[in-house]
Amino acid sequence: MDRERFSSEPEARALVARIRELVDGPAALMEVCGTHTVAISRFGIRSLMPDDLRLLSGPGCPVCVTPQREIDRAIAVARDPRAIVVTFGDMMRVPGSGSTLEREKASGADVRIVYSPLDALEVASLSPDREVVFLGIGFETTSPTIAATVIAAEERGIANFSVLPLFKLVPPALHMLAALPGRALDGFICPGHVSTIIGSSAYEPVASRHNMPCVVVGFEPLDILGGIVMLLEQIREVRGGGDARVENEYGRAVTPEGNVRAQELLDRVFEVRDSDWREIGEIEKSGYGFSSEFVDYDARVKLDVDVPLDAEATGCICGEIMLGTKLPTDCPLFATRCVPRDPVGPCMVSSEGACAAFYKYERNEG
């Protein structure tokens, strides 16, 4: 890809000027994608916006929205001598109620970091006397590869492999955010990666039901600025009595129908269920559990472990940050008690968390 095409200064200046023309009163746009969160901070896009336009980070980081109780469950599995826990690296330091996977590993638990769920399947094939549990975390982008891995386990007859299903779905979260009492959102910057799987048409119910402008946006500076322009033009129309719609700025990667093959894998291996989001609560039909055909690969069923009750709140305001009601800098723990090397909440752990992005790129601005 020609990066210069997406970072031309003259084009960027023209788009910023257009944004300033379109903002004629308070407006708030929310991205629900960790990659967008990082890009907006990294490229200094927030600093280019007029004062009346707020760019908010929603629950777009899968690590951040994984409930503390599920982190405790993963830790309990790691403590079970029958198990090997296999995970992506960004889960290692997420705080549970009293420990982390990183601390458990240091204490002797068999916790391994992989870059692909297929790596976990290889661990299982080489360790037939142990249950290998992969932490199934992610949105619709990650879920198909894990579904394919489960199918591969079945085809290869690997019976000591299972997945702890912690998956989350984006459109139900958008419905929840759009329907919040006293809603202060005017448009969604819809996620690019997720949209390659589910397609841009997946957001049409959000736009029509809530009259909420939605634009699927790429990740380069001009993508984001162009997507903001498209949203502001829609917002002007909606405020004039028009109907919101879904537009696709990221047409080079996203189609209306998405990746049909990936969707078929998801429909075969999983079924949609209600799901709990950390510090937000239960969102209807916003997660995946295993279908009856593949229930033998559900770690919840195969390993019955004791999970402690949730501990008292730590003072972290990740929930409010992910709902867009507060910024990371509003948290009294930000950059004092809560820093990347010693995080209190998950939004500072993951590189895609809003607090981590603010800490790295924006904490010294203004």
* Contacts of 23 by beta carbon, 8 Å cutoff, 6+ apart: 50, 52, 53, 232
Is 85 contained in some domain?
Answer: yes
The whole-number pLDDT of residue 97 equals 87
Backbone angles phi, psi at 286, to 5 degrees: -115, 15
- Please indicate, yes or no, if residue 319 is contained in any of the structural domains: no
Q: What is the SS3 string spanning the chain?
A: CCHHHHCCHHHHHHHHHHHHHHCCCCEEEEECCHHHHHHHHHCCHHHHCCCCEEEEECCCCCCCCCCHHHHHHHHHHHHCCCEEEEECHHHCCCCCCCCCHHHHHHCCCCEEECCCHHHHHHHHHHCCCCEEEEEEEECCCCHHHHHHHHHHHHHHCCCCEEEEEEECCHHHHHHHHHCCCCCCCCEEEECHHHHHHHCHHHHHHHHHHHCCCEEECCCCHHHHHHHHHHHHHHHHHHHCCCCCCEEECCCCCCCCCCCHHHHHHHHHHEEEEEEEECCCEEEEEEEEEECHHHHHHEHHHHCCCCCCCCCCCCCCCHHHHHCCCCCHHHCCCECCCEECCECCCHHHHCCCCHHHHHHHHCCCCC
What pLDDT is attached to residue 224? 97
- Determine, yes or no, domain membership for 334: no
Give pLDDT, residue 226. 97
- The range of the structural domain enclosing residue 95 comes to 68-169+258-302
- For CA atoms 82, 88, 92, 98, the dihedral sign is negative
Residue 114 resides in a domain: yes
Q: Which residues of 270-302 are buried (b: 16+ CB within 10 A; e: fewer)?
A: bbbeebbbbbbeebeebbbbbeeebeebbbbeb
Q: Is residue 151 part of a domain?
A: yes
d(CA 309, CA 155) in angstroms, rounded, equals 38
User: What is the structure's pLDDT at 5?
Assistant: 56
> What CA–CA distance (Å, rounded) separates 116 from 3?
27
Per-residue pLDDT of the chain (366 residues; tens, 9 = 90+): 445 555 688 999 999 999 999 999 999 999 999 999 999 999 999 999 999 999 999 999 999 999 999 999 999 999 999 999 999 998 998 888 889 999 999 999 999 999 999 999 999 999 999 999 999 999 999 999 999 999 999 999 999 999 999 999 999 999 999 999 887 899 999 999 999 999 999 999 999 999 999 999 999 999 999 999 999 999 999 999 999 999 999 999 999 999 999 999 999 999 999 999 998 999 999 999 999 999 999 999 998 888 877 655 578 899 999 999 999 999 999 999 999 988 888 899 888 899 999 999 998 764
Rounded to a whole number of angstroms, the distance between the first and last alpha carbons of the chain is 34
- Counting the structural domains of the chain, the total is 1
Which residues have C-beta within 8 Å of that of residue 190, sequence separation ≥ 6? 32, 33, 170, 174, 200, 203, 214, 215, 216, 217, 246
What pTM was computed for the model?
0.92
pLDDT of residue 7: 62
Kind of pairing between the strands at 270-277 and 281-290: antiparallel
In-domain check, residue 31: no
In a domain, 312, yes or no: no
Residue 333 lies in a domain: no
Return d(Cα 55, Cα 57) in angstroms, integer.
7
Neighbours of 230 (CB within 10 A): 20
Give the residue among 254, 172, 157, 265 at the shortest CA–CA distance from 215: 254
Task: Residue 165: give its domain's CATH number.
Answer: 3.40.50.11740
User: Can you give the pLDDT at residue 366?
Assistant: 47
